[in-house]
Structure 1
């Protein structure tokens, strides 16, 4: 607060600043890590990788997968066929009746919805994504004790010597265990091979030892 001259930005302002300056902030963290290495504050011999799940400001209902898109398209096509059949049945004697007008309006709405779902499905295929949230495209489905919700996975890498954070990143992946953890994305050390511990449990990380070059 003192450094900012008493300004009190809300969470949206902070999030937008982080999004726009992600590369710069990452370089700042790398520079700090390099300095700590030179000062002997970071040894790089044993690193602990841990993650936290953060809820996104988006509904899980707006998260679409390929399977969900296909199911939705099947239901829409079925309803469109039913509406067309109903329209044919009343066309001759209810040309100006409210029921026909409502059916045609619903038909148009279903066609618009179908186009939207097809666009989402195409994006999933082209970008090879598991899911897309139409409110926040960067979040994913996160599973926790409170059930599933839209969110992010916050990953931190901490050095054993003084407990200093050497890297931190927010990823759009539901990282649960060593099957999905790739510590090479989180570390940038210049030095000897490092031993990694996932969630303080030695021996469970997919990549047990890495030689990561910083310079």
Structure 2
């Protein structure tokens, strides 16, 4: 049975219960069941973080991946080591095209300008409690120019960028040095598609 987003969900009310750096909305709703009836009214809070781009930086000429490392308060709050190894990423502001955000964030966080870009796909981050989606790109960069620390000081960013080969990046996913979903997904995608991507970009 195919469900319809508009016909099979009834929003009884929606209110913003918190608005700060992020926002939380409270929904009262019900939805159609697979058996054909309707659920009882339920209340759910949804974390409204916005929508993001994620950019895997890859140099096909040198066969190298550029990754970043930065402090993450959510990891700290979860009791994890809070400096995470990640891909470049950023929030899409209203009216912005995701590819423009990807290029901007690559400059800000890695000091590099992509010469080509592939749209890999889109995914929901944690649909049980947040509306956030990510658009994943793979950007062609010159890894020989990537090093040092970057980020916007007025946003509290202190971002280290470094370069590894694809086998090492995959090993980091396997042994837990990379433990965030966006980077793991991107690196696993490159593991599957690396040769075809190199054929495309290197001719």
Same fold (TM over 0.5): no
Q: Which has the higher contact order (CA 8 A, sep 6+)?
A: 1
- The structure richer in strand per residue is 2
* Structure number with larger C-alpha Rg: 1
TM-score, with structure 1 as normaliser: 0.22
More helix by share: 1
